[in-house]
Structure 1
Amino acid sequence: MLSHRKYLLIIDDAPIDEQLVQYFDKFDFDIIQYSSLSQLENESEPPAALLVNCSLIQEDPSLIDNLYRRYLVPLLVISDEPNENACVKMLEAGADDFLLKPLHPRELHARISAISRRVSRSAKDNEQEKEVLLFANWRLYPASRQVLDSNTREELQLSAGEYDLLLAFVRQPQRVLGREFLLQLTKNADLSPFDRRIDVQISRLRQKIETDAKKPALIKTIRNGGYLFTSRVMTLKEANESKA
């Protein structure tokens, strides 16, 4: 199997429709078929999606959970005949979809793509929920838009504009950010880059995060350039917070 090609793994004892093979070949998908679950031991690389005939798991729906633990990919149950009870049973056990044979190539492709997008979005959201940005004596949580004191865990009260500015600095440390960029960020793109309102917002932000706002160490003014966030930023996941 070529490394650049993905593959669908079908567990079914009936022959695969050649139209299915030809259709997915156009999208650089191979189709691998096994007649029993025991043959899965032969597969080391995860497939793009897993299709299992209902008859192979109907007596023990917990096998769906076992398959998910092995392959974190879309899992679709296929059936040779209409069976509402089996459909409900499989979906309740965790299957992503239940399809009646014969499988229609375009529909199958669309369903796999839709499930993959949903899984991808969910994974991305979960990653963001776990993300913690550490700098100086502060902890910033992008998912909840919270900033906490690392020592006291008290929440820093910021306006929406102040938070957006701080997040921009924390995401791009040791980099000069111009006034025009910051104005766009705070939804004031119609203002002139020489407008002093952005300076006022940064002054307020300094008063809240700097040890000495009159001698700022975190947010430096760069003459004719903009502002520079000087702190080192560490990105952690919530599960690793205890190591911070």
Structure 2
Amino acid sequence: MEENDYLLFFDKDPVDPELEDYFKNFNINIVQKSNLTAVQPMATLPTAILISWSLLKEQPDMLQTIYQSFQTPLIVIQEHRDEQSCVNLLEKGADDVLVKPLLPRELHARINAIHRRVTGMQSQMAEDKEVLKFANWRLYPSSRQVFDENHEELTLSAGEYDLLYAFIQQPHQVLTREFLSQITKHSDLGPLDRRIDVQISRLRHKIEPQAKKPGLIKTIRNEGYLFTANVLVLKESEL
């Protein structure tokens, strides 16, 4: 834990000194607020947010607000076990519900368990992220980003990205100008409209080693355009 780690505890009652002493052993301070109106943007996220049910029941909508605003374990503290309110709290965003008196070691273990679960999910998402690799480029569909072999991001307009993604999805196939017009929302193009050709030219200048002698996006006379690169579908963990 970092020295500035802290638990944010919303409660009218004073914090149990035993709880404070325990967490100080781990360089975690407890910052107490006596009302939920004190919820504000934070420069440093707390290790966890604890909210007394006695405060929350007066402003039940605050649970959803805090859940959406702060990506940190959110634990509600009840005076007495109430199964129905416990279920409701968990459904509305609480990560856990505990009953006073709080046992320091149990609270710490539960906070760590939530952190492990969230970290594991984030790692799994990163590992499962699809990457489309072609030539010296990598395209990430989930974030609409394209990177070169040095991991420098390529700046593309929305239309340029849509064109590139269409080509990558159908390599070694001739795509007509009409089809590409629909992809880029230019469905009103007439036979003499050159907007698609202009976008193709701009895209070539960004991804081709020699834009004047294109090798990735070839013009097929009287038919359309052909994407010549082989495309590998990978997971980020495989790179």
Shorter chain as denominator, the TM-score bin is 0.5 to 0.7
Which residues of structure 1 form unaligned runs of 5+? 142-148, 155-234, 238-244
Q: Deviations over 1:13-49 (max 9, x none)?
A: 0010101011001111011000111112274321010
Deviation at 1:114, TM superposition (A): 0.2
| Cα 1:135–1:121 shift into 2, 3 Å | same
Partner of 1:150: 168
DSSP-derived class of the 2:9 partner: strand
1:152 positional shift? 1.5
Q: Cα distance 1:30–1:134, how it changes in 2: closer, same or farther (>3 A)?
A: same
| Residues 125-151 of structure 1 deviation map (CA, whole Å, 9 limit, x = unaligned) | 22333352534188698xxxxxxx935
- Aligned-pair distance for 1:153? 6.0
Query: Which residue is 1:219 aligned to?
Result: none
Distance in 2 (alpha carbons) for counterparts of 1:153 and 1:99: 55
| Unmatched runs of 5 consecutive residues or more in structure 2 | 141-166, 173-233
Report the Cα offset of residue 53 of structure 1: 0.8
Indicate how the Cα distance of structure 1 residues 15 and 61 shifts in structure 2: closer, same or farther if over 3 A, else same: same
| CA pair 42-74 structure 1, distance change in 2 beyond 3 A | closer
**C-alpha contact (below 8 Å) 2:127/2:235 kept by paired residues:** no
- Aligned to 2:77, the other structure's residue is in SS state strand
Q: Which runs of 4+ in 1 moved over 6 A?
A: 137-141
Q: Structure 1 residues 28, 137: closer, same or farther in 2, change over 3 A?
A: closer
Distance 1:134 1:4, change over 3 A: farther
| C-alpha contact 1:53 1:78 (8 A) present in aligned 2 | yes
* Change in CA separation of 1:66 and 1:45 when aligned onto 2, cut-off 3 Å: same
Q: 1:44 and 1:23, CA in 2 relative to 1: closer, same or farther beyond 3 A?
A: same
- Output the TM-score relative to the length of structure 2: 0.55
- The match for 2:17 is 18
Q: Is the 1:51–1:76 contact (alpha carbons within 8 Å) kept by the matching residues of 2?
A: yes
Q: CA RMSD in A?
A: 3.2
Output aligned runs, 1:31-46, within 5 Å: 31-41=30-40, 43-46=42-45
Tell me the distance in 1 between the aligned counterparts of 2:31 and 2:54: 19
- The aligned counterpart of 2:27 is 28
Deviations 1:69-128 (A, max 9, x none): 221000000011222221111011121100000100000000000000001111122233
1:59 deviation in Å? 5.1
1:87 is aligned with what amino acid? C
Provide the TM-score with structure 1 as the length reference.
0.54
Match for residue 169 of structure 1? none
Contact 1:51 1:78 in 2 (8 A): yes
Question: 1: CA distance between counterparts of 2:81 and 2:34?
Answer: 21
Cα pair 2:7 2:31 within 8 Å, conserved: yes
Identity %: 43
